[in-house]
Structure formats: structure tokens, C-alpha cells
Amino acid sequence: MADTNRDFVPALGKAGNIERYDAVLALMTREKRWRGELVKLVAPAAGETIVDIGCGTGTLAIALKAATPTSIILGVDPDPDILDIARRKAGEADADILWFEAMGDALDQIGPLQQCDKIVSSLVLHQCPMDVKEAIVGQMWRLLKPGGGLYIADYGEQRSLLMRTLFRQVQMIDGFELTEPNARGCVPEILHDAGFRDVEEVRAIQTPTGSISLYRAER
């Protein structure tokens, strides 16, 4: 098991109740829309190994497994309590998924994650300091096999006054210092700097808490 002693921002922030996480996410982020769009973008194929970094309660991992049951889905998160929820949900869905408790930038020693075909991540980077955002993306680059695909859904550049104002809700929960680089559109530059190519913001989806962008890139 990788080291998870470092601090991290849990789901719903420091004071959030993780048992309410799925309900809050569905209500405040138009989750069905952006998760559905992300699954289509990932387009899981038979036999592919797909790693979900910052898998949270497992909703995305379970959806990917349901889309292509013969794919190999692995979920990573540093929060043991939220992984318990993910395991329970996967069991209820009869979804065979492997779960790992680890920080998203400390995965080099976890054998099953290496040389994966695709990596997904949702609503993770906006919760991290800039150096950790960069470290996680660097980790993603190392885990992927050459030609592998990266797919991210996260709060991106907030391009209008309305989206900026709505995003303040997230900033109050997760911290202004952590979230402001995302609001200014830092994600594509971080991906480029890590060595990814064909970096693209596929679309931006307006939600009650700001604009969530879907990104893709290739190793």
C-alpha cells in the first residue's frame, strides 16, 4: 500500500459528510451529464486497463465497467472511508473492480497500475496545491503506456461572470488558493508541461457550481 499519511482535501471539503457526497454531487454539478459525456469520451474497449485516479465513491469506475464489462478497471483514492463506499457500491452493482488506497502522485510501486491503456480522473485537481496538481499529472504520464489516453473532468477556466460567481461556492469549500489556478485555466498547460500531446479541452459544461471542463490528451 502506498503512503497516505500526507494531508488531502476529502470529498465535500474538511467538514463534509461523505455519506452525502453522491447526493450533493448529483444536485450541484449536473453529474449525470458530465459523467456520461466522460464515459463516452473514454470509450472503454474490451481488455483495456483503465485507472481512475481519485476515484472517490466509485461512480465513474462502475460506469466504465458497465459500459464494457470485459475492461479492467482499477480505482485509486487516498481516503479509506470513501473507498469503503466505493467497494459497497461496486458490490451492489456486481462490478468487479480493484481498489487501491494511495495518493494520486505516489503510484509508481503499485504493479497493476503500470503501463495502463487509459487514465481517468474527475474533480481531483482543483482540490490540490499547484505542485501536487503537477505531481499527479506527472504520475499519470508515467503510468500510461506510450499512446495511452488521459481523460479528465474537472473545474476548468471560468469564462463568464456567472460561472465565476457560482464557482465561489466550490472555492469556499475546497479553498481559494487550491482552486484559483483551475478557475484561471491551468489544466491544459500542466498537461503540456508533463509531456502530454494532443491536449484538448473537449467541452465545458455549465453547472450550478461553475463550469466543468472535459479534457483529453495522449502520452
Domain boundaries, the chain: 18-218
Residue 30 pLDDT: 86
Homologous superfamily in CATH for domain 18-218: Vaccinia Virus protein VP39 (3.40.50.150)
pLDDT of amino acid 24: 81
CB 219 within 8 A of CB 195: yes
Write down the pLDDT at residue 186.
Answer: 98
| Digitized pLDDT (tens) for each residue of the chain, 219 residues in all | 455 555 555 555 554 566 677 788 888 888 999 999 999 999 999 999 999 999 999 999 999 999 999 999 999 999 999 999 999 999 999 999 999 999 999 999 999 999 999 999 999 999 999 999 999 999 999 999 999 999 999 999 999 999 999 999 999 999 999 999 999 999 999 999 999 999 999 999 999 999 999 999 999
Nearest CA among 83, 120, 125 for reference residue 100: 83
At 11 the pLDDT is 55
User: Whose CA is closest to 90, among 60, 118, 45, 113?
Assistant: 60
pLDDT of 19 = 67
By the 10 Å C-beta count (0-12 exposed, 13-18 middle, 19+ buried), 41 is classed as middle
